[in-house]
Structure 1
Amino acid sequence: MTEQIPRTIGPVLVLDDLSDGRMALAALFIVPGEAAPGPIRAEGMDHRPAALARYDSATVWRTRFTLPAGRASSYDWNGQSFAVASDLTGDLRLGYVSCNGEEIGDMDRAESERNVMWARLRAQHEAAPLGLLLHGGDQIYADEVTQGHPLTEDWPEDFERHPTPAQVADLRHHLRERFLMRYAALYRAPQFAWLAARVPSLMQWDDHDICDGWGSLRRSRTESTVGETLFSEARAAFLIFQQATVDGDLPPRFADPKGQHLDWTVRGQGLRIIAPDLRGERTRRRVMGPGGWAAMEAETARPDPGHSFLMSSVPLLGPRLSILETIMVLIPSMQKYEDDLRDQWQSRAHREEWRRMLRMVREMALREGHGITALSGEIHLATRAEMTLGPGIALDQLVASGVAHRAPPKGWARFLGALARLGESPLRGHPIRVRPLPGQRALYTAERNWLLLERSGGAWSARWDLEHSGLTPPLPL
């Protein structure tokens, strides 16, 4: 029986682009049946919605409009006014989150427990508004969408190798409807919904937005008919629900209008946010494909003054994982975790690509008048790292993960800390060191968390909001 959407969900604001002093926005709505939501009124003009996608029990609508990017503003919908901190020109606050869920039973958790950090984010916004909310991957945990269908009930361990066209069509419909319900459940949570209607989001995907380990699974799975169908439906859902768009209609911030890869960049006054696509062209042997690397080369060569934030969904700086990979290969019971390690830049399989990316970041960091910070999630812990670039110059990496995923055991955090103390230097003369958060002693903090980025007087700093320890002291960037 088809599940039902009980009421209208939205608006969920997505930033389409920044240009000419304007903030181009898309407001997403999930509405039961086929009825359209009312228009959005902004700066004295009404903006009517267009249907993005139709499902068995609901329709997804999008309304595009603009607001000034040089002052605070608001818009009205359904008799309510929504304030937006759209002044991105001076002092500024940004939020960064990742890992909004868990692999098993995520929708069965008590809402108050699951979304406690979202409630904290709302409180921060009410105290001093956030201009943008950056989502660094795993916005949903879609691992269970494959369940309930005979072709994928036991994916990826077991699946139908030679499905008929009718079976594939039925699977496509099953996945499409399950993705809808997963996103709808997350977006109607009041702790998230209040923020999403007032703070424009920028989202980057990671493996759980598709399925656990996507891109690090064996080719016999990802290149099978079932695997390609799963990726296709996950990608379509990612565009609809996280980008408020569809193929052929990507907003200008995307590097490739055709969507062969989903890299995007946003440029504001003294601010650039770069989000390479680490999943769309990924295989077991590569992190990024030709399109993604071409986009990164273009951003590296661009002389943008100010500060850049590079969103790397998996940490760009980290410990020497090759040791752990060797141990896992030798212990059969540990081999099931191989895909988790292969997901990382530090995997032996991706070392040359890792060096290539680090050289690009080094080039940007050493450019006069330009600073750069890497932002990452994925590991369900909070930490930071530095790569020495020269006398008194270092690349900062800030890891905030996860906003809803519960922290792993503290013993795992201590083990990673011991591994990190061995050091790593993929680029000769540029050692990487994992550092504790301000006010913390351990290298990795095992608490749910999100990251607050603040620009004051032109200088950037970062603070983590930790579930039990609270806000850290600021870290100058």
Structure 2
Amino acid sequence: MADNATPPQLTFTVGGFQANAVAVLLKTFAGSYVWRLDWWVAQTNSEQIVTYAVNNGTAYQYLVPELNKPLRICYGSCFGVHTLQDVNKLRNKNAMWKVLARVHQEKPYHLFFLGGDQVYSDQVWEMVPALRNWLSKKLKKRVQAPFTPEMEQEVASFYFNLYTRMWSQKQPAAILSQIPTLMMWDDHDIFDGWGSYVPEQQECPVFKGIYYQAREHFRLFQLQTNTDGVIGELALLGKSGYTFAHRMGDLALVALDLRSERTQNQVTSPESWDSLQTWLDEAIREKLLPDGTPQKACKHLLVLSGIPVVNADLTLLETALNIRPGQQRMEDDLKDQWLSRAHQQERLRLIRGLLKFSQESGCRVTLVSGDAHVAFTGFIQSEPEANTGAEPLVINQLTSSAMVNLPPPTLVVYMMEKLLAGKVEVLDQGITARLLKFPGTNRRIIGARNWLSLTLDEQPSIHAEWYVEGEEKPFAKVIPPINVK
């Protein structure tokens, strides 16, 4: 962002070569200008240090990984709090950002995967006067009211200022300047529970107007684009959402957009699921390319599902709350879950599709998730048909949350632990899911702020490490490729 229309100049240096980035103006707002600075560095047979500076200012560095060699990835989610009152409850708000900075200095990361709720926009209802006035009306009048120019201006200003404040914090800004990022949004990047409200609210002019502004600023500040349909070199999948995918050597990444197409009865459109399946078939299976050269199959597929696919089953609580729909604060959170009754068939489609892909391709599938404000590990297993002698198919889920937000109260974590103890969920014939004991503990739930480190080795195995607030050493788990016995 700059205070005039003169394009900033970014100069970068790699291997003794120096060049300038191309400045692209993305947005002008209230006397401010948002620029994207485009440059690229080709991977080689050596890891490369890229040094860059904007307008001859502070010099920053990041790493370009060696071609077809293991990557180091960090993952985090939930980088804010729900309400203004919650801000006062935070102590050392950016403590886990500081831990990430320390670990990065010791063993630098190549990529930072941000899994949702990068900003908490729930305060839009408190901080936008036109929306406070709208909320004071009865429901019937609210759903009929227009999204006025005054609302649009105030909401646009809210999201623009929210992102510029978040992105300019000292610790987050330091990390974002040193580690390239991939980001996917979740509900709080819009507002709490987006997509899980009753249709008359979800489709009302004010809700849709707020969503449009949230989407524009998500694209602008998280995807660095001001148009739909293009996110750099990433494959953008689906009908109208932002599900994207990318392959990097033995590793492939898919980030599921669980918000753009969400309704009470749908998480993602059938067209988006079909598009994902097509990409998996074409991009990461072993096959001959059109020029006759062989394409090796990926060894690992990381699927980012911001909301955990394997979780505590809260459908009984959801049913109880349906006695008085719309009255309980937790209701939209329950309907957001993959285990909500309305989403269970779609969840099963996702799981069966990933198991089938893993079986046919020999690629290990691992789910990465956040949202829950606790850390845990999920385990999906599909038993082979009788007398085949095949090994069971397994999908691990690694859940890390939150990096900034508050963990649940100790009593809630205790009750979740009791609810999960020894429980195995039967998903379908021969397919089960459960939460495992957290690595090195007798607990299934870790109720503290945390972030996740993922390092590939030459096998290639994935070494997962949770850095947890208050713990001296990370909790570790290893996920081998399928072909390692």
Q: TM-score, normalised by structure 2?
A: 0.86
Query: Which amino acid in the other structure matches residue 403 of structure 1?
Result: M
- State the secondary structure of the residue aligned to 1:51: strand
List runs of 5+ in structure 1 lacking aligned partners. Answer: 1-29
- More off after superposition, 167-176 vs 245-254: 245-254
- More off after superposition, 448-457 vs 66-75: 66-75
- Counterpart Cα distance in 2 of 1:432 and 1:474: 21
- 1:237-276 to structure 2, matched below 5 A, reads 237-248=217-228, 250-251=230-231, 252-256=233-237, 260-276=240-256
- State the secondary structure of the residue aligned to 2:222: helix
- Counterpart Cα distance in 2 of 1:99 and 1:441: 26
- 1:108-119 to structure 2, matched below 5 A, reads 108=87, 113-119=92-98
Aligned to 1:172: 152
Q: CA deviation at 1:296?
A: 2.1
8 Å contact kept, 1:403–1:450: yes
The Cα offsets for residues 359-404 of structure 1, whole Å up to 9 and x where unpaired, read as 1111122234311100000010000110112345421000000000
Q: CA deviation at 1:248?
A: 4.6
Aligned to 2:340: 347
Q: Which one of the candidate residues 310, 319, 333 is aligned to 1:326?
A: 319
- Shift of the 109–155 alpha-carbon distance from structure 1 to 2, 3 Å rule, reads farther
Q: CA deviation at 1:175?
A: 1.1
Q: CA deviation at 1:110?
A: 9.4
- Shift of the 112–76 alpha-carbon distance from structure 1 to 2, 3 Å rule, reads farther
Q: Which one of the candidate residues 42, 48, 54 is aligned to 2:22?
A: 48
- More off after superposition, 314-323 vs 376-385: 314-323
- 1:113-192 to structure 2, matched below 5 A, reads 113-153=92-132, 160-163=142-145, 168-192=148-172
- Counterpart Cα distance in 1 of 2:118 and 2:213: 16
8 Å contact kept, 2:358–2:364: yes
- More off after superposition, 301-310 vs 356-365: 301-310
Aligned to 2:289: none
Aligned to 1:13: none
- Counterpart Cα distance in 2 of 1:358 and 1:381: 22
Aligned to 1:369: 362
- Shift of the 333–56 alpha-carbon distance from structure 1 to 2, 3 Å rule, reads closer
- Counterpart Cα distance in 1 of 2:135 and 2:442: 39
Q: CA deviation at 1:473?
A: 3.8
Q: CA deviation at 1:433?
A: 1.2
Q: CA deviation at 1:199?
A: 0.5
Q: Does 1:38 align with 2:9?
A: yes
- Counterpart Cα distance in 2 of 1:117 and 1:393: 34
Query: Which amino acid in the other structure matches residue 11 of structure 2?
Result: I
Aligned to 1:61: 35
- Counterpart Cα distance in 1 of 2:320 and 2:171: 42
Aligned to 2:49: 73
- State the secondary structure of the residue aligned to 1:49: strand
8 Å contact kept, 1:383–1:443: yes
- Counterpart Cα distance in 2 of 1:361 and 1:323: 27
- State the secondary structure of the residue aligned to 2:64: coil
- Counterpart Cα distance in 2 of 1:305 and 1:155: 51
Query: Which amino acid in the other structure matches residue 303 of structure 2?
Result: L
- State the secondary structure of the residue aligned to 1:36: coil
- Shift of the 279–157 alpha-carbon distance from structure 1 to 2, 3 Å rule, reads farther
Q: CA deviation at 1:264?
A: 0.3
**In the comparison of the two structures, how many residue pairs are matched?**
445
Aligned to 2:466: 464
Query: Which amino acid in the other structure matches residue 448 of structure 2?
Result: E
Q: CA deviation at 1:408?
A: 1.0
Q: CA deviation at 1:41?
A: 2.7
8 Å contact kept, 2:76–2:114: yes
The Cα offsets for residues 195-233 of structure 1, whole Å up to 9 and x where unpaired, read as 111100000110000000000012122201101101100
Query: Which amino acid in the other structure matches residue 77 of structure 1?
Result: A
- More off after superposition, 333-342 vs 212-221: 333-342
Q: Does 1:336 align with 2:329?
A: yes
Q: Which one of the candidate residues 79, 89, 93 is aligned to 1:100?
A: 79
Greater C-alpha radius of gyration: 2
CA RMSD of aligned residues (A): 2.4
Aligned to 1:21: none
- Counterpart Cα distance in 1 of 2:196 and 2:97: 30
Q: CA deviation at 1:292?
A: 1.8
- More off after superposition, 344-353 vs 452-461: 452-461
8 Å contact kept, 1:68–1:87: no
- 1:299-318 to structure 2, matched below 5 A, reads 299-302=279-282, 303=285, 304-318=297-311
- State the secondary structure of the residue aligned to 2:262: coil
- Counterpart Cα distance in 1 of 2:427 and 2:416: 18
- Shift of the 287–467 alpha-carbon distance from structure 1 to 2, 3 Å rule, reads same
Q: CA deviation at 1:353?
A: 0.4
- Counterpart Cα distance in 2 of 1:398 and 1:404: 18
- 1:384-463 to structure 2, matched below 5 A, reads 384-390=377-383, 391-421=391-421, 422-457=423-458, 458-463=460-465
- Counterpart Cα distance in 2 of 1:430 and 1:156: 45
Q: CA deviation at 1:106?
A: 7.8
- Counterpart Cα distance in 2 of 1:157 and 1:377: 33
8 Å contact kept, 1:275–1:312: yes
List runs of 5+ in structure 2 lacking aligned partners. Answer: 286-296, 384-390, 480-485
8 Å contact kept, 1:300–1:363: no
Query: Which amino acid in the other structure matches residue 126 of structure 2?
Result: Q
8 Å contact kept, 2:22–2:39: no
- More off after superposition, 419-428 vs 374-383: 419-428
Aligned to 1:20: none
- Counterpart Cα distance in 1 of 2:452 and 2:335: 26
- More off after superposition, 466-475 vs 188-197: 466-475
Q: CA deviation at 1:419?
A: 2.4
- More off after superposition, 266-275 vs 155-164: 155-164
Q: TM-score, normalised by structure 1?
A: 0.87
- Shift of the 33–76 alpha-carbon distance from structure 1 to 2, 3 Å rule, reads same
Q: CA deviation at 1:418?
A: 2.4
